[in-house]
Structure 1
């Protein structure tokens, strides 16, 4: 399972071993116990990867061969970036809240590879900023 955590000015992508259903169930139980509201709804989430990131071609090839097309799609934004669009579930304290979490599930290989690409893009961005 992939979990994207969105904040006001960034997001973080995590690779988790739980299923989406188990993770959502645990989150619902937690919010009930602490008396907090929780909104869970089907949604999409997107993030950008540099178009020149090594390995993107392999990801595109894997997606064509795998059955993940209903969960993940790649779109060319411009010469510099590729948009990764995922289908899954948005969780937040209200449906209007811009901060929250997004979870999705696809094949283990695709999840691991996408997480690796995201980490590499973050590493390259931090090196460029320095």
Structure 2
């Protein structure tokens, strides 16, 4: 399962071994116990990856085998590729930009996508130093 945690200024991508259903059920139970509103709805999430990342061709190959079309790649410009994922958005239901997006694709594709995201974030932080 992939979990994207959105904040006001950025997002964080995690690769979890727990099933999507199990994770969502635990979030629902937590919200009930602490008296917090929880909204779960179908959604999509997108982020950019630099086209120069090693391993991006492997991701393109893996996406071809995704019969459910959970992941879609689109060239933005000469420098970036947009990754769009279909899944579920969990939030408190407010118009706030804070929330969590979760989805599940093949384990292999999830691990590869996480690895690429980590490489992209380390490149971005190295460039800003």
Q: TM class, shorter-chain normalised? A: over 0.9
Q: Which residue in the other structure is 2:31 paired with?
A: 31
Coordinate RMSD, CA, aligned: 1.1
Task: Say whether the 8 Å CA contact 1:7–1:100 is kept in structure 2.
Answer: yes
Q: Which residue in the other structure is 1:110 paired with?
A: 109
Deviation per CA, 1:97-121, whole angstroms, max 9, x where unpaired? 3110000000000000000000000
Deviation per CA, 1:67-124, whole angstroms, max 9, x where unpaired? 3551000001111111000000000001533110000000000000000000000111
TM-score when normalising by structure 1 = 0.95
TM-score when normalising by structure 2 = 0.96
Q: Secondary structure at the match of 1:94?
A: coil
Aligned in 2, Cα 1:95/1:33: closer, same or farther, shift over 3 Å? same
Map 1:1-130; keep pairs closer than 5 Å: 1-64=1-64, 66-68=65-67, 70-94=69-93, 96-130=95-129
Q: Distance in 2 between matches of 1:21 and 1:103?
A: 10
Q: Secondary structure at the match of 2:53?
A: coil
Q: Distance in 2 between matches of 1:92 and 1:28?
A: 11
Q: Tell me the matched-pair count.
A: 129
> Which structure 1 segments of 5+ residues have no match?
none
Q: Distance in 2 between matches of 1:57 and 1:69?
A: 20
Detail structure 1 runs of 4+ shifted over 3 Å in the superposition. Answer: none
Q: Secondary structure at the match of 1:96?
A: coil
> Which structure 2 segments of 5+ residues have no match?
none
Task: Say whether the 8 Å CA contact 1:5–1:11 is kept in structure 2.
Answer: yes
Task: Say whether the 8 Å CA contact 1:51–1:80 is kept in structure 2.
Answer: yes
